[in-house]
Structure 1
């Protein structure tokens, strides 16, 4: 069933910044829905049903479509961004959780948690183009900005598989701490940051040497140490600041990317999993899977400026740039 929500009139005029003019789409894994949020008003303006247990969510290069990992359906859905209508269902292998749109927008790289493989889907033909075996329980996946590498995390084997996209073969493995979940490249492509969830750390990998050159640990005030479970990572567009969701510690961490030191924490909702940073780098939109809400965080002030009720189990966030 499709539901619509409309924001009330604001009491005073507001001049929208580029970030405020954006729209956020949040996948809700327990209610199998996507929430559509107007950042300017801080309101949910639409909710539409999707496949079972949606987690990863991406925007097509032209902005027309949403790609959604329907994990329990073993499929990736293609939906019209504006209406939520189902356009196509793509084969993806078992239990797709995270995926990555290729730099040229022609392929969708999917991590298949249940069958230890990375699958490349050709978006034009809507067929599997190729598949590469990787470590057990692959989850995080990302293509390097130079287009040469596909990196895939293995939660069970605690390693990163390096797939050479020219040969489609795993040519290197980098060991990590326990249960690596997410990979994020710095904007300049020189480093890959990897969240080792149960290891409670973020590793910084040098792309030239393929080795870990730094490890970042976290201690948010008042949080029990065992609840610090880093997952989603995003960088500001200039690469100077990294924002990391810390899971059951109920905080996000802001990191000075140059010296790899935590510059501060912001307490958000329960179990922040993934996030997105607005076009102007001013705000982080954080999906809180435990409290069923979304936090809008002012990054300069390091505080939550709005909490928005979401669906059940918000998981992933994607932002549509202002037009």
Structure 2
């Protein structure tokens, strides 16, 4: 089914989450540790959530329309792509009290997809400039190197383990683009479905998976030739695709179904559907970003329309709880370390 390219902000976001949706009405789930960070794109804030209790510890002003975010390899910092502006904003992850860096990518950058690589560098798409940025030594000199994709809507990205290559999904051009970060050879692009958006590289680096929200499909590609090896039917409007840390399955975030489709990567088949809510609530929920817990046992699902994040048990498919976040929660990241608990204050963004 063909759909028009419509930004999510124009899809009729619903009212605030009802009281029953908030974590205050649900018992905290045992056995969870760590800290969840959420970029709240309508509130222009960054939330810090204690996963053990499900409570928001802090909310701080972030930047204009933050979408995606990433945590540094040592867990000490969190970086936000400021989609409404030109910057990458970096905060200390322990208490968010100090913005440690603001990296300007130039006029009309509109950064969106972001990866904080194991090599310590940051990679980000700059949708407004039709490019990808490599930010070397982001906490120090923050040297920036720009690579043109020459495609409309270069939105999300994946980066190879070596840091030599990056891939973007280009919503407007209906393409996936391979960018060579070291030799600067011309980028290579192929059409992949309608409005490809979700993207992830398997842990072994041998397969690139892409979800095309206008096609209701996921595609397996050869990372270097971009040959499409397999097409898999998934749920309706699959905005994101995330691979389990174990590398055995991927899930797509199917906005129009409020569900997750589980794909067995070895078989290349959809094997299971997890209902996050009733399909009738799809417009109200506005299910967007998905994130695996580090142990691969839970999936966190951002519900932008109700200002909640659903915590889903992967094995049972049960929604364990809904965690209240800021206005328009979207991008997410997890650190395994719990943050120091504190009350919210005016200084750190509280009311």
What's the TM-score bracket when you normalise by the shorter of the two chains? 0.7 to 0.9
1:224 deviates by 6.1
Structure 1 counterpart SS, 2:257 = coil
In the alignment, structure 2 segments of 5+ residues that lack a partner are 1-71
Distance 1:139 1:255 in 2: 22
- The alpha-carbon distance between structure 1 residues 235 and 26, as it changes in their structure 2 partners (threshold 3 A), is same
Deviations 1:262-303 (A, max 9, x none): 1111010111111001044x47xxxxxxxxxxxx9x9xxxxx
Counterpart selection for 1:181 from 235, 239, 243: 239
Structure 1 counterpart SS, 2:301 = strand
- The alpha-carbon distance between structure 1 residues 260 and 84, as it changes in their structure 2 partners (threshold 3 A), is farther
Q: Report the counterpart of residue 10 of structure 2 in structure 1.
A: none
Per residue, is there more strand in 1 or in 2? Answer: 1
- The alpha-carbon distance between structure 1 residues 101 and 306, as it changes in their structure 2 partners (threshold 3 A), is farther
8 Å CA contact 2:291, 2:300 repeated in 1: yes
Distance 1:39 1:206 in 2: 34
Q: Report the counterpart of residue 104 of structure 2 in structure 1.
A: 49
Distance 1:195 1:100 in 2: 17
Deviations 1:195-237 (A, max 9, x none): 11233221111113322222222349xx965221222222222
Counterpart selection for 1:123 from 181, 198, 221: 181
- The alpha-carbon distance between structure 1 residues 274 and 21, as it changes in their structure 2 partners (threshold 3 A), is closer
Q: Report the counterpart of residue 263 of structure 1 in structure 2.
A: 320
| Correspondence list, 1:1-323, <5 A | 22-45=76-99, 46-51=101-106, 52-63=109-120, 65-80=121-136, 81-83=138-140, 85-94=142-151, 95-128=153-186, 130-165=188-223, 168-219=226-277, 226-280=283-337, 282=338
In the alignment, structure 1 segments of 5+ residues that lack a partner are 1-17, 284-295, 299-303, 310-323
Structure 2 counterpart SS, 1:127 = coil
Distance 1:305 1:181 in 2: 35
Q: CA RMSD in A?
A: 2.9
TM-score in terms of structure 2 length? 0.69
The 10-residue stretch of structure 1 (120-129 or 189-198) with the greater mean CA deviation from structure 2: 120-129
TM-score in terms of structure 1 length? 0.75
Q: Which has the higher contact order (CA 8 A, sep 6+)?
A: 2
- The alpha-carbon distance between structure 1 residues 168 and 39, as it changes in their structure 2 partners (threshold 3 A), is closer
1:43 deviates by 1.8
What is the number of residues matched between the two proteins?
270
Q: Report the counterpart of residue 313 of structure 1 in structure 2.
A: none
Q: Report the counterpart of residue 291 of structure 1 in structure 2.
A: none
